[in-house]
């Protein structure tokens, strides 16, 4: 029973999130503030959801920080996503072996 309630609540929230913009924004947006706000919201939400998982995934804040730092440096140099993920994982693993 409770799973069905969760599914219905999730469906309602998903519907509201998709329906509200169509209801309130009938004209084309011209405000630079709203355009930039709507452009950066997905990145902000993704970061807010990902960072806690990154920092607590290894069980040690030190190894997670090392992996994150390696991932940021590799991403800065525009390496492929698989290389960044593997490099960060390897760095966190090696930091765990050393510590």
Task: Note the pLDDT of residue 25.
Answer: 75
What confidence tens digit (pLDDT) does each residue in 46-76 have? 899 999 999 898 999 999 999 999 999 999 9
What confidence tens digit (pLDDT) does each residue in 7-41 have? 999 999 999 888 887 787 778 878 899 889 989 99
Token pair of 78, please? 């525009």
CB 55 within 8 A of CB 71: no
Contacts with 95 (C-beta within 8 Å, 6 or more apart), sequence order: 62, 63, 66, 67
pLDDT category at 1 given cuts 50, 70, 90 is low
Does the pTM surpass 0.85? The reply is no
Closest of 5, 91, 13 to residue 99, by C-alpha: 91
All structural domains of the chain with their residue ranges: 2-98
Residue predicted with more confidence, 79 or 19: 79
């Amino acid at each position: 029973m409770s799973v069905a309630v969760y599914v219905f609540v999730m469906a309602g929230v998903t519907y509201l999130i998709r329906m509200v913009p169509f209801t309130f924004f009938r004209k084309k947006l011209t405000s630079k503030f709203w355009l930039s706000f709507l452009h950066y919201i997905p990145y902000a939400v993704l970061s807010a959801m990902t960072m806690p998982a990154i920092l607590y995934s290894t069980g040690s804040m030190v190894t997670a920080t090392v992996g994150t730092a390696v991932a940021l440096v590799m991403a800065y140099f525009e390496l492929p996503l698989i290389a960044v993920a593997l490099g960060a994982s390897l760095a966190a693993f090696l930091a765990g072996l050393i510590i």
